Amino acid sequence: MQSVGFVVQPNFQVLGFAAMTVFEIANTTVKDNFYDIALLSENGGMVRSSAGFSVETKSFDNTELDTVVILAGIVIQPVTSGLLSFIRKSAANARRLAAPCIGAFILAEAGVLGDRRATTHWAFARELQNRYPKLKVEEDRIFIIDGPIWTSAGMTAAIDLALAMVEKDLGVEIARTVARNLVIYHRRAGGQSQFSALLEMEPKSDRIQKALDFAKQNLKSELSVEDLADAANLGPRQFSRAFRAETGQSPAKAVENLRVETARVLMEQGRLSMDVIAIETGFADRERMRRAFLRAFGQSPQAIRRISRITA
Protein backbone atom coordinates (compact mmCIF):
# COMPACT_ATOMS: atom_id res chain seq x y z
CA MET A 1 0.00 0.00 0.00
CA GLN A 2 1.25 3.46 -0.96
CA SER A 3 0.44 6.31 1.43
CA VAL A 4 -0.55 9.61 -0.20
CA GLY A 5 -0.82 12.71 1.96
CA PHE A 6 -2.67 15.78 0.71
CA VAL A 7 -1.58 18.82 2.72
CA VAL A 8 -3.88 21.81 3.15
CA GLN A 9 -3.58 25.17 4.87
CA PRO A 10 -6.34 27.74 5.52
CA ASN A 11 -7.98 29.06 2.32
CA PHE A 12 -6.82 26.12 0.20
CA GLN A 13 -8.44 25.71 -3.22
CA VAL A 14 -10.83 22.75 -3.28
CA LEU A 15 -10.27 21.91 -6.96
CA GLY A 16 -7.07 20.24 -5.83
CA PHE A 17 -9.25 17.47 -4.44
CA ALA A 18 -9.78 16.32 -8.04
CA ALA A 19 -6.28 14.85 -7.88
CA MET A 20 -7.30 12.97 -4.74
CA THR A 21 -10.19 11.43 -6.68
CA VAL A 22 -7.73 10.02 -9.23
CA PHE A 23 -6.12 7.89 -6.51
CA GLU A 24 -9.55 6.95 -5.13
CA ILE A 25 -10.73 5.70 -8.52
CA ALA A 26 -7.43 3.87 -9.01
CA ASN A 27 -8.21 1.92 -5.82
CA THR A 28 -11.61 0.86 -7.14
CA THR A 29 -10.11 0.02 -10.54
CA VAL A 30 -7.57 -2.43 -9.15
CA LYS A 31 -10.13 -3.59 -6.53
CA ASP A 32 -7.59 -3.04 -3.79
CA ASN A 33 -6.61 -0.18 -1.50
CA PHE A 34 -3.32 0.38 -3.30
CA TYR A 35 -3.34 4.00 -2.15
CA ASP A 36 -3.96 4.99 1.46
CA ILE A 37 -5.15 8.60 1.18
CA ALA A 38 -4.89 11.07 4.07
CA LEU A 39 -5.79 14.76 4.39
CA LEU A 40 -3.22 16.57 6.52
CA SER A 41 -2.61 19.98 8.05
CA GLU A 42 -0.14 21.43 10.51
CA ASN A 43 -2.47 21.39 13.53
CA GLY A 44 -5.10 18.91 12.41
CA GLY A 45 -8.83 19.40 12.92
CA MET A 46 -11.05 21.53 10.70
CA VAL A 47 -9.40 23.65 7.98
CA ARG A 48 -11.42 26.22 6.07
CA SER A 49 -11.25 26.25 2.27
CA SER A 50 -11.33 29.29 -0.02
CA ALA A 51 -14.92 28.28 -0.90
CA GLY A 52 -15.98 28.81 2.70
CA PHE A 53 -16.52 25.27 3.98
CA SER A 54 -14.16 23.30 6.20
CA VAL A 55 -12.71 19.79 6.03
CA GLU A 56 -11.42 17.46 8.74
CA THR A 57 -7.67 16.83 8.70
CA LYS A 58 -5.02 14.89 10.61
CA SER A 59 -2.04 16.72 12.06
CA PHE A 60 1.51 16.14 10.88
CA ASP A 61 3.17 13.24 12.71
CA ASN A 62 6.11 10.93 12.19
CA THR A 63 4.32 8.72 9.67
CA GLU A 64 6.48 8.35 6.56
CA LEU A 65 4.52 9.01 3.37
CA ASP A 66 5.23 7.67 -0.10
CA THR A 67 3.72 10.70 -1.87
CA VAL A 68 3.07 14.19 -0.50
CA VAL A 69 0.90 16.67 -2.41
CA ILE A 70 0.87 20.31 -1.27
CA LEU A 71 -2.44 21.99 -2.11
CA ALA A 72 -2.31 25.79 -2.36
CA GLY A 73 -4.91 28.53 -2.38
CA ILE A 74 -5.95 30.89 -5.14
CA VAL A 75 -3.53 33.57 -3.94
CA ILE A 76 0.02 33.38 -2.63
CA GLN A 77 0.01 33.55 1.15
CA PRO A 78 2.57 33.30 3.99
CA VAL A 79 3.76 29.82 4.90
CA THR A 80 4.15 28.75 8.52
CA SER A 81 7.43 27.42 9.87
CA GLY A 82 5.68 24.16 10.75
CA LEU A 83 4.62 23.56 7.15
CA LEU A 84 8.08 24.45 5.84
CA SER A 85 9.64 21.99 8.26
CA PHE A 86 7.20 19.26 7.19
CA ILE A 87 8.00 19.86 3.52
CA ARG A 88 11.75 19.61 4.14
CA LYS A 89 11.25 16.37 6.04
CA SER A 90 9.02 15.03 3.23
CA ALA A 91 11.60 15.95 0.60
CA ALA A 92 14.13 13.82 2.48
CA ASN A 93 11.88 10.84 3.20
CA ALA A 94 9.03 10.62 0.64
CA ARG A 95 9.41 9.01 -2.78
CA ARG A 96 7.85 12.04 -4.44
CA LEU A 97 6.76 15.52 -3.43
CA ALA A 98 4.21 17.36 -5.56
CA ALA A 99 2.78 20.87 -5.71
CA PRO A 100 0.01 21.76 -8.16
CA CYS A 101 -0.47 25.36 -9.27
CA ILE A 102 1.01 28.01 -6.95
CA GLY A 103 2.02 25.30 -4.50
CA ALA A 104 5.38 25.60 -6.26
CA PHE A 105 5.94 28.81 -4.27
CA ILE A 106 5.63 26.80 -1.05
CA LEU A 107 8.18 24.23 -2.20
CA ALA A 108 10.54 27.00 -3.29
CA GLU A 109 10.16 28.80 0.04
CA ALA A 110 11.00 25.55 1.84
CA GLY A 111 14.19 25.36 -0.22
CA VAL A 112 13.51 21.96 -1.75
CA LEU A 113 13.35 23.13 -5.36
CA GLY A 114 16.86 24.59 -5.51
CA ASP A 115 17.82 24.97 -9.16
CA ARG A 116 15.37 22.35 -10.43
CA ARG A 117 13.00 22.71 -13.36
CA ALA A 118 9.48 23.62 -12.25
CA THR A 119 6.20 25.02 -13.52
CA THR A 120 3.15 26.75 -12.08
CA HIS A 121 0.02 28.52 -13.29
CA TRP A 122 1.00 30.74 -16.22
CA ALA A 123 -0.23 33.89 -14.45
CA PHE A 124 2.30 33.37 -11.62
CA ALA A 125 5.24 31.93 -13.55
CA ARG A 126 7.17 35.20 -13.93
CA GLU A 127 6.73 35.99 -10.23
CA LEU A 128 7.99 32.53 -9.28
CA GLN A 129 11.07 33.04 -11.44
CA ASN A 130 11.70 36.53 -10.04
CA ARG A 131 11.36 35.43 -6.42
CA TYR A 132 13.55 32.36 -6.84
CA PRO A 133 16.02 33.15 -9.64
CA LYS A 134 17.92 29.85 -9.31
CA LEU A 135 14.83 27.95 -10.43
CA LYS A 136 14.36 26.97 -14.06
CA VAL A 137 10.71 27.98 -14.43
CA GLU A 138 8.99 26.69 -17.58
CA GLU A 139 5.70 28.54 -17.73
CA ASP A 140 4.31 26.76 -20.80
CA ARG A 141 4.10 23.25 -19.33
CA ILE A 142 1.21 21.18 -17.94
CA PHE A 143 3.47 19.48 -15.41
CA ILE A 144 7.15 18.83 -14.84
CA ILE A 145 8.92 15.95 -13.11
CA ASP A 146 12.43 16.75 -11.92
CA GLY A 147 13.70 13.84 -9.85
CA PRO A 148 11.33 13.33 -6.90
CA ILE A 149 9.73 16.78 -7.29
CA TRP A 150 6.53 17.18 -9.32
CA THR A 151 5.00 20.57 -10.14
CA SER A 152 2.01 21.38 -12.34
CA ALA A 153 0.14 24.28 -13.88
CA GLY A 154 -3.35 25.36 -12.77
CA MET A 155 -5.41 23.14 -10.48
CA THR A 156 -6.98 21.08 -13.28
CA ALA A 157 -3.44 20.10 -14.30
CA ALA A 158 -3.21 18.32 -10.94
CA ILE A 159 -5.47 15.66 -12.52
CA ASP A 160 -2.90 15.10 -15.28
CA LEU A 161 -0.15 14.98 -12.67
CA ALA A 162 -2.04 12.42 -10.55
CA LEU A 163 -2.81 10.27 -13.61
CA ALA A 164 0.89 10.30 -14.49
CA MET A 165 1.66 9.05 -10.97
CA VAL A 166 -0.91 6.26 -11.30
CA GLU A 167 0.58 5.34 -14.68
CA LYS A 168 4.05 5.04 -13.16
CA ASP A 169 2.74 2.99 -10.22
CA LEU A 170 0.15 0.73 -11.86
CA GLY A 171 0.72 0.96 -15.62
CA VAL A 172 -0.76 2.77 -18.55
CA GLU A 173 -3.90 0.63 -18.86
CA ILE A 174 -4.96 1.27 -15.27
CA ALA A 175 -4.36 5.00 -15.75
CA ARG A 176 -6.47 4.97 -18.92
CA THR A 177 -9.27 3.13 -17.13
CA VAL A 178 -9.19 5.70 -14.32
CA ALA A 179 -9.38 8.51 -16.87
CA ARG A 180 -12.33 6.87 -18.65
CA ASN A 181 -14.14 6.46 -15.32
CA LEU A 182 -13.60 10.16 -14.68
CA VAL A 183 -14.78 10.94 -18.25
CA ILE A 184 -11.63 12.83 -19.10
CA TYR A 185 -8.87 12.60 -21.67
CA HIS A 186 -6.30 9.92 -20.70
CA ARG A 187 -3.88 12.60 -19.62
CA ARG A 188 -2.20 15.55 -21.23
CA ALA A 189 1.53 15.12 -21.66
CA GLY A 190 3.67 17.00 -19.17
CA GLY A 191 5.31 19.03 -21.92
CA GLN A 192 2.01 20.09 -23.44
CA SER A 193 1.29 23.81 -23.61
CA GLN A 194 -0.94 25.46 -21.00
CA PHE A 195 -2.36 27.64 -23.77
CA SER A 196 -4.96 27.00 -26.46
CA ALA A 197 -4.97 28.67 -29.88
CA LEU A 198 -8.78 28.66 -29.91
CA LEU A 199 -9.04 30.23 -26.47
CA GLU A 200 -6.46 32.89 -27.26
CA MET A 201 -8.39 34.05 -30.34
CA GLU A 202 -11.74 34.39 -28.53
CA PRO A 203 -13.95 35.47 -31.46
CA LYS A 204 -16.91 37.65 -30.57
CA SER A 205 -19.41 36.33 -33.12
CA ASP A 206 -20.88 32.88 -33.73
CA ARG A 207 -19.98 33.13 -37.43
CA ILE A 208 -16.25 33.46 -36.80
CA GLN A 209 -16.41 30.78 -34.11
CA LYS A 210 -18.14 28.49 -36.61
CA ALA A 211 -15.30 29.06 -39.09
CA LEU A 212 -12.71 28.22 -36.44
CA ASP A 213 -14.57 25.07 -35.45
CA PHE A 214 -14.72 24.08 -39.11
CA ALA A 215 -10.98 24.64 -39.44
CA LYS A 216 -10.22 22.60 -36.32
CA GLN A 217 -12.26 19.68 -37.67
CA ASN A 218 -10.74 19.82 -41.16
CA LEU A 219 -7.06 20.55 -40.60
CA LYS A 220 -6.06 17.90 -43.14
CA SER A 221 -7.75 19.94 -45.90
CA GLU A 222 -6.27 22.98 -47.62
CA LEU A 223 -8.57 25.43 -45.75
CA SER A 224 -8.55 28.44 -48.03
CA VAL A 225 -10.13 31.75 -47.07
CA GLU A 226 -13.03 30.81 -49.33
CA ASP A 227 -13.57 27.55 -47.39
CA LEU A 228 -13.63 29.39 -44.06
CA ALA A 229 -15.84 32.15 -45.43
CA ASP A 230 -18.36 29.55 -46.64
CA ALA A 231 -18.41 27.99 -43.16
CA ALA A 232 -19.16 31.44 -41.72
CA ASN A 233 -21.78 32.23 -44.42
CA LEU A 234 -19.85 35.37 -45.42
CA GLY A 235 -18.11 36.59 -48.56
CA PRO A 236 -14.30 36.16 -48.57
CA ARG A 237 -13.48 39.87 -48.21
CA GLN A 238 -16.08 40.49 -45.54
CA PHE A 239 -14.95 37.35 -43.72
CA SER A 240 -11.26 38.33 -43.78
CA ARG A 241 -12.03 41.80 -42.37
CA ALA A 242 -14.32 40.42 -39.67
CA PHE A 243 -11.91 37.63 -38.77
CA ARG A 244 -8.96 39.97 -38.24
CA ALA A 245 -11.10 42.45 -36.31
CA GLU A 246 -12.34 39.77 -33.91
CA THR A 247 -9.19 37.64 -33.45
CA GLY A 248 -6.32 39.97 -34.24
CA GLN A 249 -4.98 37.44 -36.75
CA SER A 250 -5.32 36.70 -40.42
CA PRO A 251 -7.24 33.52 -41.30
CA ALA A 252 -4.02 31.95 -42.64
CA LYS A 253 -2.13 32.64 -39.40
CA ALA A 254 -4.98 31.28 -37.29
CA VAL A 255 -5.09 28.06 -39.31
CA GLU A 256 -1.33 27.66 -38.93
CA ASN A 257 -1.64 28.12 -35.14
CA LEU A 258 -4.35 25.46 -34.98
CA ARG A 259 -2.22 23.09 -37.05
CA VAL A 260 0.84 23.66 -34.88
CA GLU A 261 -1.13 23.15 -31.68
CA THR A 262 -2.67 19.89 -32.93
CA ALA A 263 0.65 18.64 -34.30
CA ARG A 264 2.34 19.33 -30.98
CA VAL A 265 -0.24 17.27 -29.09
CA LEU A 266 0.24 14.36 -31.53
CA MET A 267 4.00 14.56 -31.11
CA GLU A 268 3.73 14.48 -27.33
CA GLN A 269 1.50 11.42 -27.52
CA GLY A 270 4.36 9.74 -29.38
CA ARG A 271 2.33 7.28 -31.44
CA LEU A 272 2.68 8.74 -34.95
CA SER A 273 5.71 9.49 -37.08
CA MET A 274 6.58 13.06 -38.04
CA ASP A 275 5.59 12.39 -41.66
CA VAL A 276 2.14 11.15 -40.66
CA ILE A 277 1.61 14.06 -38.26
CA ALA A 278 2.53 16.54 -41.00
CA ILE A 279 -0.06 15.01 -43.32
CA GLU A 280 -2.79 14.65 -40.68
CA THR A 281 -2.50 18.29 -39.60
CA GLY A 282 -2.46 19.73 -43.12
CA PHE A 283 1.22 20.71 -43.38
CA ALA A 284 1.62 18.13 -46.17
CA ASP A 285 5.35 17.62 -45.50
CA ARG A 286 7.83 17.75 -42.62
CA GLU A 287 9.69 20.81 -43.91
CA ARG A 288 6.58 23.03 -43.92
CA MET A 289 5.76 21.77 -40.43
CA ARG A 290 9.32 22.45 -39.24
CA ARG A 291 9.20 26.06 -40.45
CA ALA A 292 5.83 26.61 -38.73
CA PHE A 293 7.20 25.21 -35.45
CA LEU A 294 10.22 27.49 -35.61
CA ARG A 295 7.90 30.48 -36.10
CA ALA A 296 5.62 29.43 -33.24
CA PHE A 297 8.05 28.05 -30.65
CA GLY A 298 11.55 28.81 -31.86
CA GLN A 299 12.12 25.04 -31.77
CA SER A 300 11.91 22.23 -34.28
CA PRO A 301 9.30 19.45 -34.02
CA GLN A 302 12.10 17.01 -33.10
CA ALA A 303 13.12 19.23 -30.16
CA ILE A 304 9.51 19.46 -28.97
CA ARG A 305 9.19 15.67 -29.05
CA ARG A 306 12.44 15.19 -27.13
CA ILE A 307 11.29 17.64 -24.43
CA SER A 308 7.92 15.89 -24.10
CA ARG A 309 9.66 12.54 -23.54
CA ILE A 310 11.75 14.04 -20.75
CA THR A 311 8.84 15.80 -19.00
CA ALA A 312 6.15 13.12 -19.43
Catalytically active residues are 101
DSSP 185: -
C-beta of residue 143 within 8 angstroms of C-beta of residue 151: yes
CB atoms within 10 A of CB 78: 7
Report d(CA 58, CA 135) in Å as an integer: 32
C-beta of residue 226 within 8 angstroms of C-beta of residue 235: no
User: Which amino acid would we find at residue 266?
Assistant: L
Please name which of 217, 294, 306 lies closest in space to residue 270, comparing C-alpha atoms: 306
C-beta of residue 36 within 8 angstroms of C-beta of residue 4: yes
Q: Give the DSSP per-residue string, 246-302.
A: HHSS-HHHHHHHHHHHHHHHHHHHT-S-HHHHHHHTT--SHHHHHHHHHHHHSS-HH
Report d(CA 38, CA 12) in Å as an integer: 16
Report d(CA 296, CA 43) in Å as an integer: 48
User: Residue 83 class from Cβ within 10 Å (0-12 exposed, 13-18 middle, 19+ buried)?
Assistant: buried
C-beta of residue 211 within 8 angstroms of C-beta of residue 231: yes
DSSP 149: E
